[in-house]
Amino acid sequence: MPQQTVPVTGFDDMNLDPAVFSCLEKVGYTTPTPIQRLTIPHLLAKKDLLGQARTGTGKTAAFALPLLSCINLDIRRPQVLVLTPTRELAIQVAEAFKTYGQNLKGLGVLPVYGGQSYGVQLNQLKKGVHVVVGTPGRLMDHMKRKTIDFADLFCRVLDEADEMLRMGFIEDVEWILERTPKEVQTALFSATLPGPVRKIAEKHLTLPENIRIQSQPAETNAIRQQFWMAKGATKAHGLVRILSAEAFDGVIVFVKTKSATLSVAKNLESNGFRAEALNGDMAQSAREQTVDRLKNGRIDILVATDVAARGLDVDRISHVINYDMPGQVDPYIHRIGRTGRAGRCGEAILFTAANERWMVRKIEKATRQPITEMHLPSPKAVNKKRIADFNDSISRTLESQDLATFESLVATYAEANDLPMARVAAALARMAHGETPLLLTPAKEKKPVLAKPKQKKTLDANQTMPEKPPVSVRQMDRTPKPAPDLKASVSETPALIPLRPGMERYRIEVGECHGIKPGDIVGAISNEAGLESKYIKDITIQPQFSLVALPEGMPREILRLLKRTWVRSRQMAISKCA
């Protein structure tokens, strides 16, 4: 169907509930975005809807505002169900419902996701809620336990359906839709419409209104895009060097995983930058406080994942750095759209490898702008920037501070110790600057401070290293090893798939007898590790356990997280196969 148009221009023309409409001014909404202008009237009219729009277009308000306007507050049972791919998005959407419904007395909104205690969710369900926002896995558990009742449901929303497909949740989504009332209104939102998502729309939506909001290449016109080819230097080293030479205000560094937010932020801090991490493991209040520190200038750099940064809008962002290459063009456009606002120029820098040049060309085609190659700044360029910053800080202090007391103390100290004032000033500057050297030298550059590797154990003088014949991976796979029944080794698997180059095999302590499916494994690992499903290979499910191949060198922090991750009501307890 062609894109629909509606004869309304503002929120005051949309017949929203007065209590909902009254909160719009508080949250700063004056003019609806295109997706809101086209969607809200159809949802208020109880029509099914298929919406195509990327993240950042105001999509959440497009369905939250009309659905809140239709809720019966006297019925304290779920009336709206929103399915999201991740717990971070579930929390964000639930917070949006609470914000837009802050004037609806007694409104109950419950985010339902794995990793949170069942007790907390059960207590809120007993008290009564009107809106449930959940991830497929935990929602299925509640439905199987019969702890949630959808008898009063009037609308189902599938948010970011293509992302749920990518993470392996589409079968779970189908299961939920089959077991919720079919005659209710249904809205599906997706940035793209791959085959499985289109099939769900055809099966579960009735004569839907089709809304499509296309990304506008002009949105990136105020942003200069560059890429750095990471060769001969680590990305950590390159990030420090680039930030040392760039004149920036606020920066967002995008990485793929939660563990990377911590390691990259720590590395930046160790090299003198005011940086903090933003990821889904943080409590909502802690995330809000971190963003406030960035807005207020108490920190300058935020290291974040895509999901944790959803809805992030900070005026002072001058640079966006894609430390990890996004898997698709739309996330890249949405990332860099956080800079270059209000008529200002923005800077977008993309870290890439030689085998990722195809993605650079794809982005250029989508944005209709060239992405120029940049080279690592020289020590001379870094030093020039650092000296300029040093001089600026002195000038600002001289202009804005009363220095009379300190001036007297310094003069007295210099006279008492027979020292020139410049020497004393240098000592004070050294104290203020800290341990990190101010200037780089070509002979010895300051490398990023990284964690020291564990030292290998050395042999005593009387010990000799036992010789071991080389054994290939395939030989190891075929070597039988005895093991307990519930801890069967990989070699006991009768139909073991040969490992692909660059992959390692892991064992998960959840198997066929627990009802696990390949999609459960893909979804759990993708959600928790931030790993795209195309890198999760060769899943073999056995009665008591399962096997999966993951890329070599998975970070220990990710593996520790996966050990505690729940799937099919059991912890994965993942371990690397011998």
Q: What is the pLDDT of residue 221?
A: 64
Q: What is the pLDDT of residue 461?
A: 39
Beta-carbon neighbour count of residue 250 at 10 Å?
20
Domains and their CATH numbers in the chain: 11-212 (3.40.50.300), 217-377 (3.40.50.300), 381-398+411-433 (no CATH), 476-576 (3.30.70.330)
Could you give the CA distance from residue 40 to residue 91 in angstroms, rounded to a whole number?
A: 22
Could you give the CA distance from residue 191 to residue 328 in angstroms, rounded to a whole number?
A: 11
Number of helices and strands in the chain (H, E):
20, 20
Q: What is the pLDDT of residue 483?
A: 42
What are residue 169's phi and psi, to 5 degrees?
-100, 0
Q: What is the pLDDT of residue 463?
A: 42
Residue 424 is given by DSSP the state: H
- For residues 34 and 59, the answer to whether their CB atoms sit within 8 Å is no
- For residues 220 and 344, the answer to whether their CB atoms sit within 8 Å is no
Residue 238 makes CB contacts below 8 A (sequence gap 6+) with 228, 230, 351, 376
Q: Which residues pair with 551 in a beta bridge?
A: 503
- For residues 208 and 418, the answer to whether their CB atoms sit within 8 Å is no
Q: What is the pLDDT of residue 100?
A: 94
- Taking the chain (578 residues) in runs of 10, the rounded mean pLDDT of each run is 52 90 84 91 95 79 96 95 88 91 94 85 93 94 93 95 84 94 94 89 94 65 86 82 90 92 91 89 79 91 84 83 87 84 79 86 87 88 82 83 86 88 86 74 50 42 41 38 40 62 88 85 79 84 89 80 80 85
Could you give the CA distance from residue 553 to residue 533 in angstroms, rounded to a whole number?
A: 17
- For residues 262 and 277, the answer to whether their CB atoms sit within 8 Å is yes
Q: What is the pLDDT of residue 484?
A: 40
Question: What's the per-residue H, E or C state across 88-157?
Answer: HHHHHHHHHHHHHCCCCCCCCEEEECCCCCHHHHHHHHHHCCCEEEECHHHHHHHHHHCCCCCCCCCEEE
Return the H-helix or E-strand segment holding 50.
strand 49-52
Q: What is the pLDDT of residue 451?
A: 42
Q: What is the pLDDT of residue 493?
A: 43
